Structure 1
Amino acid sequence: MVAAIEQDRRLVFTYGTLKRGFSNHVLMQEMIRDGDAAFLGISHTVEKFPLVCGPYRVPFLINLAGAGDCVLGELYSVSPRGVARMDELEGVSRGHYERLPISVRLISIDDSDEEAPVFQGEAYYAHRSYGEELWERNGKKGFCAYSESEAKGYVKRKDRPQGITFLDQIQIFIESTSE
């Protein structure tokens, strides 16, 4: 696995639609095929973080260490070109998400969890301009993994209303009454 972590690459923890079996994983598959990403393994956050769904069942990791649960996801080694592609998908320049540091531990069937090495990587968190509000809107209740159950009802970007920005959709969601 260490061979997959080259000097110019970043470790990126994915926890939602970029994971295997979910709608945006096609990007990861393309990046792997193009040599811009390598799957390193299933992992979980070392610290607890809130993981919630926002509008259209889009998953959001909230940058509130200590709240929520340890989050299950996947760890990738990603080239600078691959990170740029992920930043575009995640709307980093548009204020949708922000890529920030995170500590994760690979899950291994051979070692106990406490003995597994900790890796310093990055993850896409809900932007700080709305992250805490999203956590509160969800009743300060999240989940430890974005699974098929949480993804039920997910709406792909192309199928969402086009006359309104995603940030506006998030704000409407936050201001609505929780279900």
Structure 2
Amino acid sequence: MSTTSINNHHQTNQIFVYGTLKRGFPNHYLLENLTASNDAVFMGGYKTLNSYPLVCGPLGIPFLINIPGSGHRIKGELYSVSGRALTRLDELEGISRGHYERLPLEVVTEEKGDPRVMVVEAYFGHRDFGEEMWRKNEEIGMEEYLDKMGEKYVRVENRDVGLNLKDYIRVYLQSNE
């Protein structure tokens, strides 16, 4: 399926997902729904061109940290999405609440042969806590968010109603664990 079949094809964006939005993970249902409504198209497996930190924070939530040259080249998936889909993804990722920032990123296809480099966007842990989270993880990151990490993920409906994600992040960063 070509990206021109996406609703609002004049507003297509490419989004690199590396965590709970990937196929087989807890938030992938959103991309499945967006694909069913022609607001998203799976483009394949991709990897970041440069190294970045990827850490697992509180509640089993993955955070890509905007420190190019640190960490690993991150494996993930690329989707072409409509403007409507981008709005839904931004809501899920808490852009307006300061949970994540959507920033440009260079990725390359994982296919052998003629690798294609693209400038896309990804959701990075917000700058207010990203670098601190990297230090909290002793500057040890992962190359890919895997099933065993996804099993630790706590869905929004199962979280303490009195806390928002920034509260969980603050407690996590202040803990001695």
TM-score category of the 2 structures, normalised to the smaller one: over 0.9
Q: What are the within-5 Å matches in structure 2 for residues 33-52 of structure 1?
A: 33-52=36-55
For 2:108 and 2:76, the matched residues in 1 are separated by 10
For 1:153 and 1:27, the matched residues in 2 are separated by 19
1:144 — aligned with what?
A: 143
Q: What are the within-5 Å matches in structure 2 for residues 2-151 of structure 1?
A: 3-4=2-3, 6-109=9-112, 111=113, 115-151=114-150
Return the letter of the residue paired with 1:137: K
Return the letter of the residue paired with 1:59: P
For 2:164 and 2:29, the matched residues in 1 are separated by 23
Deviation sequence 1:27-85 (CA, Å, 0-9, x none): 00000001110000000000000000110110000000000000000000010000000
TM-score for the superposition, normalised by structure 1: 0.93
Question: How many residue pairs are counted as aligned between the two chains?
Answer: 173
Return the letter of the residue paired with 2:36: R
Task: State the SS of the aligned residue for 2:11.
Answer: coil
TM-score for the superposition, normalised by structure 2: 0.94
For 2:153 and 2:116, the matched residues in 1 are separated by 33
Unaligned stretches of 5+ residues in structure 1: none
Shift of 1:106: 1.2
Runs of 4+ aligned residues of structure 1 deviating over 4 Å after TM superposition are: none
1:163 aligns with 2:166: no
Q: Relative to structure 2, which stretch is displaced further, 94-103 or 150-159?
A: 150-159
Shift of 1:152: 2.9
Any conservation in 1 of the 2:101–2:125 contact (CA below 8 Å)?
A: yes
Shift of 1:98: 0.5
C-alpha RMSD of matched pairs (Å):
1.2
